Amino acid sequence: QVFTYMFLHGDFWHLFFNMLMLFWFGVSVERKVGSKEFLLFYLLCGSLAGFAMRLTYYLIGMGAYSYTVGASAALYAVMLAFAVLYPDSQVYLYFVLPIPSAVLVLGYFILELMQAFRSDGIAHVGHVYGLIFAWVYIKVRYRISILKVFGFK
């Protein structure tokens, strides 16, 4: 399940919004890094996030009672890659409010971290892991300092 969960979704809207996010952010990232690199990044970050999520749920005693579906963890990784590769880009939050992509990703990281262990049916901890593994991948593979890209240090 640490791999296949990314290809299953709870309902039509879950699939629709995940694929919309993949289209909005993924196309630009894929154009910049190439199809093979994008596929490696997407599947590796998503799978590692799935593994880490299952391990976390197991360690806190939720392993036997939970399941995870959706591409969100991998998509959070893609959003971070987009923000790193296009740091000056503006994203329209709720189709109205222009916000720098780096600020959007940082904001989502903070929100997901705050909600990581809520039992609301959303795998917030998976989103956090998606961002963390994307951070590691980008730092190791491309030797890019994400903190510098985001204006820190």
The 3-state secondary structure of the chain, one letter per residue: CCCHHHHCCCCHHHHHHHHHHHHHHHHHHHHHHCHHHHHHHHHHHHHHHHHHHHHHHHHCCCHHHCCCCCCHHHHHHHHHHHHHHCCCCEEEECCCEEEEHHHHHHHHHHHHHHCCCCCCCCCHHHHHHHHHHHHHHHHHHHCCCHHHHCCCC
Query: What is the rounded distance in angstroms from the CA atom of residue 34 to the CA atom of residue 24?
Result: 16
* Predicted pLDDT at 95: 84
Which of residues 126 and 64 earns the better pLDDT score?
Answer: 126
pLDDT at 123: 83
pLDDT, the chain, mean: 90
Q: What is the per-residue pLDDT for 109?
A: 92
> Which of these ranges, 2-11, 133-142, 144-153, has the smallest mean pLDDT?
144-153
Contact yes or no for 38/26 (Cβ under 8 A): yes
Average pLDDT over residues 105-113: 91
Across 25-44, average pLDDT = 97
Confidence of residue 133 (pLDDT cuts 50, 70, 90): very high
Q: Which of 80, 68, 67, 88 is nearest to 128 (CA)?
A: 80
